Amino acid sequence: GNSVTQMEGPVTLSEEAFLTINCTYTATGYPSLFWYVQYPGEGLQLLLKATKADDKGSNKGFEATYRKETTSFHLEKGSVQVSDSAVYFCALTGSDKIIFGKGTRLHILP
């Protein structure tokens, strides 16, 4: 069945560092791919999405490219801020339900 694997955390970076959180997926057909973010004490928020191969999703300085050849959707940001500290979830939709990865906790040190 469909599945999502993302790098385990926590990931700790200094402010203004470059961020990569790896995500790979297994799916039949052509899923849509998402990154969600969960700030402490809050629900999940959609960060970005891509609905077909080679699409690049972007939002708030974060980017991810849908790579069908490597079945990946890695999240990147050129310069992280303390306010980016949160848990990030990679997800895909196949047949109308979302499958989430386990999440990667990100700590940004000032």
Partner 1 sequence: DAGVTQSPTHLIKTRGQQVTLRCSPKSGHDTVSWYQQALGQGPQFIFQYYEEEERQRGNFPDRFSGHQFPNYSSELNVNALLLGDSALYLCASSLGQLRYNEQFFGPGTRLTVL
Interacting residues with partner 1 (CB under 8 A): 4, 31-32, 36, 41-46, 49, 51, 89, 91, 93-103
CB of 36 to partner 1, least distance (A): 8
Quick one: 8 or 15, whose CB is closer to partner 1? 8
Quick one: 80 or 103, whose CB is closer to partner 1? 103
CB of 20 to partner 1, least distance (A): 19
The residue among 36, 33, 29, 9 whose CA lies nearest residue 21 is 9
CB of 24 to partner 1, least distance (A): 14
What is the C-alpha to C-alpha distance for residues 15 and 4, in angstroms, rounded to an integer? 28
24, 70 contact by CB (below 8 A): yes
The residue among 29, 65, 69, 70 whose CA lies nearest residue 50 is 65
86, 40 contact by CB (below 8 A): yes
CB of 77 to partner 1, least distance (A): 20
Quick one: 17 or 52, whose CB is closer to partner 1? 52
Backbone Cα Rg of the chain: 13
Quick one: 40 or 110, whose CB is closer to partner 1? 40
